[in-house]
Amino acid sequence: MTGPPPERHRTRNVSGGTEVTEQLRIGVVGAGYWGPNLARNFRSSPDWDLVAICDLDGERAQRLADQVGGVRVVTDLDELLRSDDIDAIAVATPARTHHGIALAALAAGKHVMVEKPLADTGGRGRAMVETAAASGLVLMADHTYCYTPAVLKIRELIEEGALGDILFIDSVRINLGLIQPDVDVFWDLAPHDLSIIDFILPGGLHPTTVSAHGADPLGAGKACVGYLVLPLANGAIAHVHVNWLSPTKIRQMVIGGTKRTLVWDDLNPQQRLSVYDRGVDLGLQALDGAERKAATVSYRLGDTWSPALPEKEALGSMASEFAASIRESRPPRTDGRAGLRVLSVLEAATRSLGGFGAVTPVEADRVLIGETR
């Protein structure tokens, strides 16, 4: 049992006076795997007053409510959405339910945060994005990794040009399980990597095509091992490897640039980020064709350094960003459009997988054009 819920208001001194900022009120929908993490962070956030837990399983909802300080339990979504003491909801339910819950919440005038993936189809995700925009409400994708200190630093380094132009991204996310009953390994794990790539690249993730290769050596009826290849701007390339069958757990991303290469090892708390001033330089850059093939290749062997990272929980930062976007009437850093860009790649990957790895166009959605930052 935790302590009493935070006060409804928080105060801070501004220019010798006192500014009072009223907390926003939120209900968490879904008390299964991810809901408790959301509830705990909204409960501890100075920006939020956690008002209710909603789940079809009343006993499960009550257990979570007790863990976070005895908040109200609701088993009927409509009842929750009719509540006047709710400003927003956080959705932590299966992806197939996100569309219906989000549209109902938006119709009730509530802001919405949805765990990944945004929806189970691009069409449903698009409807969520368009409805939120038409309603003047915030729709946020809970792309949690984007709020980790490591990924925020990666984005900062890329934006300031520390890596130079991006040449390649290699991302690996493998572990033993958990094999999901309703989705393949691409839809389960790749949203993490795709959302990170979308977040760190200036302009977001807009590949024109994707190629997906998967394997089902267990006979589970779905891909348990998968590889994605995505062409990026200016001839760069991204490769994503996801796997439910590996006896070792690896979460690593290598980002190569014209100036430096960055390695992110999420499982190494002592040195999550390493920046290498090493690379390959091709002489006679102005030459093309046969002349370039004959150019001198040199290898740059410089120093390695590790940026200092603050210790801060990603979900806490996500909760703060959700509140700030509502108060400032602006899109959050990971808005619905970011979630829709990830969905577009996943759907193209599914089509490619059905075509035995064929290079498959990624739908250029009108909702996404010009709406990346």
What is the tens place of the pLDDT at every residue in 119-141? 999 999 999 999 999 999 999 99
Contact criterion met (CB below 8 Å) for 244 and 177: yes
Distances in whole angstroms, Cα of residue 25 to Cα of each of 2, 22, 218, 237, 327: 19, 9, 46, 43, 12
| Edge-to-edge strand ranges of the sheet holding 111-115 | 72-74, 48-54, 24-29, 88-91, 111-115, 139-142
- Quote the pLDDT of residue 175: 98
Contact criterion met (CB below 8 Å) for 34 and 306: no
Contact criterion met (CB below 8 Å) for 185 and 244: yes
Instruction: Quote the radius of gyration of the chain (alpha carbons, Å).
Output: 22
- Taking 70 as the threshold, does the pLDDT of residue 164 lie above it? yes
Q: What is the mean pLDDT of the chain?
A: 91
Distances in whole angstroms, Cα of residue 158 to Cα of each of 144, 163, 252: 19, 6, 17
Helices (H) and strands (E) in the chain, counts: 10, 17
Note the pLDDT tens digit of each residue in 186-198.
Answer: 999 999 999 999 9
- Quote the pLDDT of residue 298: 80
Note the pLDDT tens digit of each residue in 305-347.
Answer: 999 999 999 999 999 999 999 999 999 999 999 999 999 999 9
Q: Tokens representing 311?
A: 């210790």
Judge residue 373's burial from the number of C-beta atoms within 10 Å of its C-beta, 0-12 exposed, 13-18 middle, 19 or more buried. Answer: exposed
User: Across residues 113-118, what is the average pLDDT?
Assistant: 98
Q: What domains lie within the chain, and their CATH numbers?
A: 9-145+315-336 (3.40.50.720), 146-312+340-361 (3.30.360.10)
pTM over 0.85: yes
Note the pLDDT tens digit of each residue in 252-305.
Answer: 999 999 999 999 999 999 999 999 998 777 664 555 656 655 567 788 788 999
Q: How far apart are CA 146 and CA 190, in angstroms?
A: 14
- Quote the pLDDT of residue 296: 73
Q: What percent of the chain has pLDDT over 90?
A: 83
SS3 call for 251: strand
- Quote the pLDDT of residue 297: 76
Q: How far apart are CA 332 and CA 325, in angstroms?
A: 5
Give the single-character DSSP code of 335. Answer: B
- Quote the pLDDT of residue 281: 76
